[in-house]
Amino acid sequence: MEKELKFIFSGYTIENDCMLSASGAVTVGFEVMQPEIFTSSDKELETVSQSLVKALKVLPKHTIFHQQDFFTEAKYAADFEDLSFLSHSSERHFFEGRGLEHHCRIYITLKPSNKIITSINSFLLRRHIVPEKSLDPAIIQDFLNAAGQFAQIINDVNKKLIPLTTDKLVSHTDQAGIIEQYCFLSHENEILIKDIQFKDDFKIGDRFAALYTLADLDGLPAFCGPAITYEPYSTDRSRSAVGFAASLGLLLSCNHIYNQYIFIGDSHQRIKELESKKLRLQSLSAYSRSNAIARDGVNDFLNEAAAEQRYPVKMHLNVLVFDQDKNKLKEIGNKVMAAAASIEALPKLETTGAPQIWCAGIPGMQAEFPMNETFDTFLEQAVCFVHTETNYQKGISGIRFAERISGMPVWVDLFDEPMRRGIITNRNLFVCGGSGGGKSMVMNHILRTLFEQMAHCVIVDIGNSYQGLCTLVGGIYFTYTEDKPIRFNPFYLAAGESLDTEKKESLKSLLVSLWKKENESFNRSEYVALSNALQGYYDHLKNNESLFPCFNSFYEWLKTSYVDILKEQQVKDRDFDMDNFLYVLQPYYKGGEFDYLLNETENLDLLHERFVVFELDTIKNHPILFPVVTLVIMELFISKMRKLPGVRKILAVDEAWIAIAKSGMADFIKYLYKTVRKFNGIAALITQEIDDLLSSPIIKETVINLSDIKLLTDMRKFMNRFDELQAILGLSEKGKSILLSVNRANDPAKKYREVFIDLGGQIMKVYRNELSKEEYYAYTTEATEKIKVLEFAEKWGSMEKGIKMMITNDTLTNTP
């Protein structure tokens, strides 16, 4: 029988954000914001389930709860405008990647009477639809009040219900409404009326569809609960939990709609009906064993209702799958059967009753659902089949990571949004993971993103982890080699700079560290003498503009001018021993052993240089060079903190236990972690040694306690000592389960590592750190790859061209 859509919607109207059907039923709708998948513990999922039970109990009799979860395949639409080399490569890498978009809506319908609709008397089979008498306004108002209470109970837990207004429900000239989206399986921006066909093939427009139902007790699992173990992410020491119905939702990788109906009737009347049914079956049990089995089943149901004070309801579940390729429907159907089998359910492919069930899924038409397609259960069990999770929320800015399931890119705001929401109180970062776990890749990626967002990045490195990125972005890379030793010029003042108190104090600290041993005292008169020396030297520079500021000219001024000043002031040797001072500092003057160290003539304006790397591997144990470099780093970053207001800046200390073992750096780290947030700054510490966490009081007491952002990579190497690690990091059992799921079920077709992110102990998630080939080669710490990248960069004149040619070379090499 062919019908026009206007026949289905005869008498259907929308008033005051309520959908009114021809049968007189009233429906209100809500958009649902759900918790993100793989981020909830089993206890949290149980709390969500219990809140839904409480919410459903406030609804009046003859109410239908319908949750409709849309899962539609979407392609990633890349934006290639005004991008850097690496950002462009990242967009190209993810271009047209596929993932599931999820939209969840809840509809609550009040039926006008207890009239029973079945597949036989469905309105679809009638020639005419005669509108029934509407509900009394007072009853409608009571229903709307109950729906509001329902939403409030849900909102008090971990979901958020947003009422659907008329503007969202109906279509506009440039936007498809929610009703039209369901009827035509269309997107919000797709305005097109399509034919709907049930004969021969179930077809909506150009898409073939199939409906799988769970409407028979024989096809339902023997046991259910709010949560189920997700085995791919679980270990023998941890349990990764997902909602019981997740396999029919986000974990089902195809276009589909998962419909869940709960019919709330008169519980006392339903108990009476079942008692009568039991008596009938009892009288017939002597004639048929199946009647005896059915009698026992009804009896068990009644016993549980009485003993546990259960609330009896009716329920229906169905999965509508669709695709443009008819041949794929069988493959998709196999996926549905396998997904249902994972919770020990057995759906059936609905054919005869599919039109009636599909039509009852139209928003506002729930009262027309055929009740012969439902089964009896209790409310507590029914809510276990309600889908409770969604995919990761996509930010609009931040650091680009990717979802665990599909690999679709998501932007994660680590620093600003969590601060505004009170989730974190500082932006400090602690990164830890085993060797080869991907922590340097993650940190490279974060630093590159911050650099492109105009932040100033200062990195203390051991192991050349940031050499490639520094070269690519045109930063300054300080390292020590015999033929090109490390050089600085702390005496240089950039244009606009002056010898303020901060600069003077940092130079005094430097001179004292060069002059005195760590255990030697430093008295007040020596402090005054050095202050006067620095002030006099910079006054001398003002009067001699041709003189270049460096340690050499400072030393010469001390010998020629400041000596005479001290004599005029009658300063005694016991107050300031100038001869001893000059003798000890002579190795840093021209011709001395370290004359290169403090007399650099290039790369002088480090204050305004946005990417600076100090590679300390070759000098980490040097008694002279390391303290000097440490002081230069401290002075540089403090200067950036105080002289660049409003500018984001980050100091990243990689493999830091060697650096912070030195007392001067240790005190600086403590100071930095406590004050850097006041200057829009980030202190980041990266380590791979668990012993650092357990033995270093600085890391335990300062770094971890004052780092609200923790990034942890693969911890499987530390499994035997994980209890100690968990205690030091302050991880909850939920955090432990999420962390131990890292890299446990990675897509073998893609090369990436996962990272666990903890924001203030409140938000814990795992993301893919999936990189393009260009990003990978820019960040790689693998020695052979790094050497090859640098060779190509030298050959082709730049890091960017070198990486491009290296990828081209790889492509040609791998071509069969």
**Mean pLDDT, to the nearest integer, of 188-205?**
83
First-to-final CA distance of the chain: 57
- Mode of pairing for the β-strands spanning 241-243 and 227-229: antiparallel
Residue 7 has pLDDT above 60, yes or no: no
Beta strands in 367-446 (DSSP E): 375-378, 399-402, 409-412, 429-432
Per-residue confidence at 815, pLDDT binned at 50, 70, 90?
very low
Domain parsing of the chain, residue ranges: 5-77+99-385, 397-488+605-769, 489-599, 782-816
With beta carbons less than 8 A apart as the criterion, state whether 471 and 455 touch. Answer: no
Question: For residues 413 and 712, what is the distance between their CA atoms, to the nearest angstrom?
Answer: 17
Q: Give the model confidence (pLDDT) of 446-482 as tens digits.
A: 999 999 999 999 999 988 899 999 999 999 999 988 8
Top pLDDT among 103 and 274 is at: 103
Lookup: tokens for 815: 């071509």
With beta carbons less than 8 A apart as the criterion, state whether 657 and 687 touch. Answer: yes
Top pLDDT among 694 and 148 is at: 148
- Name the nearest CA neighbour of 348 among 231, 256, 211: 211
The highest-confidence range among 154-163, 384-393, 483-492, by mean pLDDT, is 384-393
Per-residue confidence at 82, pLDDT binned at 50, 70, 90?
confident
Please state, for a pLDDT cut of 70, what percent of the chain lies above it.
90
Strand ordering across the sheet containing 611-615: 409-412, 399-402, 763-770, 752-759, 709-712, 429-432, 681-687, 649-654, 456-461, 611-615, 476-478
**Mean pLDDT, to the nearest integer, of 319-339?**
94
**Mean pLDDT, to the nearest integer, of 675-704?**
82
**Mean pLDDT, to the nearest integer, of 690-704?**
74
The highest-confidence range among 193-197, 282-286, 324-328, by mean pLDDT, is 324-328
Q: What is the pTM of this model?
A: 0.89
**Mean pLDDT, to the nearest integer, of 635-644?**
89
645 vs 117, 664, 681, 757, CA distance in Å?
Answer: 69, 26, 10, 28
**Mean pLDDT, to the nearest integer, of 163-170?**
92
CATH code of the domain made up of 397-488+605-769? 3.40.50.300
**Mean pLDDT, to the nearest integer, of 246-267?**
93
Which pLDDT score, from 0 to 100, does residue 816 have?
40
Residue 364 has pLDDT above 60, yes or no: yes
Q: Give the model confidence (pLDDT) of 30-45 as tens digits.
A: 999 999 999 999 999 9
Per-residue confidence at 436, pLDDT binned at 50, 70, 90?
confident
Which pLDDT score, from 0 to 100, does residue 447 have?
97
The strand pairing partners of 681, in sequence order, are 649
Residue 732 has pLDDT above 80, yes or no: yes
- Mode of pairing for the β-strands spanning 456-461 and 649-654: parallel
Average pLDDT across the chain, whole number: 88
Residue 663 has pLDDT above 70, yes or no: no
Residue 291's SS3 state is: helix
**Mean pLDDT, to the nearest integer, of 162-181?**
89
With beta carbons less than 8 A apart as the criterion, state whether 414 and 757 touch. Answer: yes
Q: Give the model confidence (pLDDT) of 179-196 as tens digits.
A: 999 988 888 777 778 888
Instruction: Out of 8-22, 497-511, 698-712, pick the least confident.
Output: 8-22
Per-residue confidence at 538, pLDDT binned at 50, 70, 90?
very high
Q: Give the model confidence (pLDDT) of 566-584 as tens digits.
A: 988 888 888 889 999 999 9
Per-residue confidence at 174, pLDDT binned at 50, 70, 90?
confident
Identity of the amino acid at 529: A
Lookup: tokens for 493: 């003042």
Which pLDDT score, from 0 to 100, does residue 135 have?
75
CB neighbourhood size of 380 (10 A): 18
Residue 503 has pLDDT above 80, yes or no: yes
Q: Give the model confidence (pLDDT) of 377-427 as tens digits.
A: 889 999 999 999 999 988 888 999 999 999 999 999 999 999 999 999 999
